[in-house]
Amino acid sequence: MNRARIKCPTCQRELDWESAPFRPFCSERCRLTDLGAWLTEQRAIPGDAAAAAPDADPQAQPHKDAG
């Protein structure tokens, strides 16, 4: 039998791929930890949202409609 051995990306612990319900992580905790780190990284990236914004939207003009 050739069992695949993988390493948990979070804690580097070796585990069997077959018997790892949270693969590629060794446990749910490690999975959540990695996911959390990933999300944090995404948020940490300084995004220039204004640079991607197009010119003033013609539909966004303020309309006075006091009737």
Q: State the residues that interact with Zn ion by CB under 5 A.
A: 8, 10-11, 13, 26, 30
Least distance (Å) from Zn ion to the CB of residue 50? Answer: 40
User: How far from each other are the two terminal CA atoms of the chain, in whole angstroms?
Assistant: 81
Least distance (Å) from Zn ion to the CB of residue 1? Answer: 24
Least distance (Å) from Zn ion to the CB of residue 34? Answer: 9
Nearer CB in complex with Zn ion: 40/59 = 40
